[in-house]
Structure 1
Amino acid sequence: MTTQQEDYARRLGITEGQIVLEQGWDEDCEAAISESIEDVLGDDFLEEETDDLVDVVLLWWRESDGDLVDGLVDAVRPLGDNGRVWLLTPGTGQAGELSPGEISESAQLAGLVQTTADRLGNWQGSCLVARGYTKK
């Protein structure tokens, strides 16, 4: 694994032993981000149909994926206490990008607040947590 790949998982605050669910992955996603996380976890992501509670939901989202509020509400359902959603959207100038205002407004409507933002390759990551919980 390259240093950059290790860096993706670290920058997302994902550590060994956590349970992570990936949603919205498609061929346009940056595989190195997913691979970095799986390498740190030492396991695959949970299946989307799981009933297990998770520490992190990695949500890939593009403008064409529909209503972001609905997507975030669905992403919050499997979160355990103090869990977080990492919303990954195409970066500025990329097809399917979302405006920061849309992300912020949608997060608020879904009962979330953004704590961190980070550029991950061609994708923009926004860490979203339930209101009242602000740890990255």
Structure 2
Amino acid sequence: MTATTDPAASGAGRFGFTKDQVIQEWGFDDDVDHALRDELADEVGVELVDEDYGDVTDSAIVWWRGSDGDSTDLEDLLVDAASTLEDSGLIWVLVPKMGSAGHVSTADIGEAAQTAGLQPTTSLSAAPGWLGVRLSAPGRGK
């Protein structure tokens, strides 16, 4: 699977998600962007599955805020999210945008990703108030 991160693309396409993919969601809370969640589910045609989903997934989104823990907690969560992915699966870490409460720097995400065996590849404005950072394992998502 090749991710499409063309800013002109809409919804699931700009994240590299395609029809019928199972997307596992981590870190859901009241502050997530519900319009983005709905858009992703509508475009792939499958509801997002939660952290307790017990099968292999195609991709994942991780909502992460500074108040969710330190870099070790993010590393642990990324390892968990990656452990259920198909070989070509991607993980998107969604954090509050710079200047917002709970913002996490892309450098911190990159450090946690590296320790978890992942690498950041691109970022985009995921939704109003949310920045998305795309992660893949070496050899994945090319």
TM-score (norm. length: structure 2): 0.85
Deviations 1:57-93 (A, max 9, x none): 1110111111211111111111111111111011111
Opposite residue 37 of structure 1, the aligned amino acid is L
Matched, 1:59 2:66: no
Matches within 5 A, 1:24-43: 24-43=27-46
RMSD, matched Cα: 1.4
Deviations 1:84-119 (A, max 9, x none): 111101111111011111011111000001111001
Query: Which runs of no fewer than 5 residues in structure 1 stay unpaired?
Result: 1-5
- Higher share in strand: 1
TM-aligned CA distance change 1:134 to 1:20, over 3 Å: closer
Opposite residue 64 of structure 1, the aligned amino acid is S
1:82 corresponds to which of 88, 103, 111: 88
Alpha-carbon distance between aligned partners in 2 of 1:117 and 1:32, rounded to the nearest angstrom: 19
Partner of 2:58, secondary structure, is strand
Would the aligned equivalents of 2:12 and 2:44 in 1 still touch at CA under 8 Å? no
Aligned residues: 130
Q: Match for residue 122 of structure 1?
A: 129
Q: Which runs of 4+ in 1 moved over 4 A?
A: none
Q: Match for residue 110 of structure 2?
A: 104
Would the aligned equivalents of 2:90 and 2:140 in 1 still touch at CA under 8 Å? no
Q: Match for residue 4 of structure 2?
A: none
Compute the displacement of 1:48 (Å).
Answer: 2.1
Query: Which runs of no fewer than 5 residues in structure 2 stay unpaired?
Result: 1-8
Alpha-carbon distance between aligned partners in 2 of 1:41 and 1:27, rounded to the nearest angstrom: 23
Opposite residue 125 of structure 1, the aligned amino acid is G
Alpha-carbon distance between aligned partners in 2 of 1:110 and 1:131, rounded to the nearest angstrom: 11
TM-aligned CA distance change 1:81 to 1:134, over 3 Å: closer
Residue identity over aligned pairs, in percent, reads: 41
Would the aligned equivalents of 1:88 and 1:125 in 2 still touch at CA under 8 Å? yes
